[in-house]
Every structure is written in C-alpha cells, then in structure tokens.
Amino acid sequence: MVRGLAERGLTVALAESCTGGLAAHLLTTVPGASAVFPGAVVAYSDAVKAGILGVPASVLGEHGAVSSQAAAAMAEGARRAFGTSVAVAITGIAGPTGGSREKPVGTVWFGLAAETGTETWMKHFSGTRRQVQVRAADEALERIRRHCGYK
C-alpha cells in the first residue's frame, strides 16, 4: 500500500479511537511509510475528538462518539490537521464492555475524507477485544487501498 500511495503522489493520515493506534502501527511497519504518512491522532476521549480533531460537541451529544457523524468529522479533522490527500477515522466499541442494544460490542464506524468528499460506513466485528481492533484496523487500511485505486 505504501508504494502504491507514493507512486500516485498521495498521502494519508489516521484518526483512531477504538483501535488505539493499531492501524498507524501496521502502516508504519512498511519501509518507506514516512513518505506517505505524516501521522495519526489517537483520539480515545471525546475531549480529544473535539479539541484536536474538531468534532462538534453537538455531534458527540446527539449521535455519540460511535456514529457516522463522528467518524466523518474525525476523518475530516485528521485530513485538515495533517494536510493529507486522504484520512481515515475509526471509532467503535471493541469490548468486552461498553456496548448497548443500539450499539453492541463490535460496532465500528469508519470515515474516509478526501478531496472528492467524505464517506462513512459501519461494520460489526465479532471476537475478543483484540480481534475487533485488528479487524477494524485491517478494514481501514483495506479501504484506503481501494479508495486509492489499487489492490
């Protein structure tokens, strides 16, 4: 993925919550990542989501941190903060506690912000906390690959 981004002159940033920086870690295990990846924000608390990424308090209050609206705002905030071509956000409930009927454990919202606009999508992952985190990080990186037009 790093080579594909570099060949296309693209850069990527991340805003991670439930994955705690795992997607950034996976990305930076690839030699040459520094050419396409300036950084990430691990926004575990709502205060960081609002303060650093600019997620509106109204979004957090009305929809919660695990929502399409929060994922979109997180991705847009990361793209703005790092000045990248693309930014992806991950926010969810890795478990084993914290879920609800409306948002069960394993619910993860993603946002992708690019020059062409912002999209969000949601996935439900099963498994342990670590499995949910790994699956969510993999999903985010795979979406970057697809968005940037390579396999």
Is 64 a residue whose pLDDT tops 70? Answer: yes
pLDDT band at 37 (very low <50, low <70, confident <90, very high): very high
Amino acid identity, residue 108?
V
pLDDT band at 39 (very low <50, low <70, confident <90, very high): very high
Residue-range definition of the domain harbouring residue 38:
2-147
pTM of the full structure: 0.97
Total domain count for the chain? 1
Domain of residue 96, CATH code = 3.90.950.20
Helix (H, G, I), strand (E, B) or coil at 10: coil
Q: Other C-beta atoms within 10 Å of 122: how many?
A: 14
Q: Which residue has the tokens 């009927």?
A: 101
Mean pLDDT across 15-22: 98
Burial of 56 (0-12, 13-18, 19+ CB in 10 A): middle
User: Got the DSSP string for 57-104?
Assistant: HHHHHHT-SSSHHHHHHHHHHHHHHHT-SEEEEEEE--SSS---SSS-
